[in-house]
Amino acid sequence: TGPDGVYGFVGEHLFGPYRPMNASGLVLGNPPEQPFQTYSHCVMPNGLVTSFIDSVPTEGEDYRIGGTEAPTVRIL
C-alpha cells in the first residue's frame, strides 16, 4: 500500500476509461516525514478539502490520537 491521501481519477464517461490525476493518482498526500498518519478527508464539489487527523504513528507500534482538523485546502 502507498501513503494515505486523496487519490483522483478522471475520465470522459461515467464508466471510464479512467486515468490517474498527477500520473500516480495522488492529489493530496501526507507530509513526507509521516507518510502513514491517518486522515479522514472530505472533498467538496467546489474543490475544498477538509481533513481530520485520526491517528499519528509513533515509534514502535503505538499510535497517538490526533483528534484535530487539518487546514482546509483547495484542489484545482
**25 pLDDT more than 80:** yes
Measure the CA–CA gap between 5 and 43, rounded to whole angstroms: 11
pTM, two decimal places: 0.67
In the structure, what pLDDT confidence band is assigned to residue 13 with cuts at 50, 70 and 90?
very high
Q: What is the pLDDT of residue 16?
A: 94
**2 pLDDT more than 70:** no
**Domain count of the chain?**
1
pLDDT for 44-72, tens place per residue?
999 999 988 777 667 766 667 777 788 89
> Whole domain around residue 41: which residue ranges?
5-74
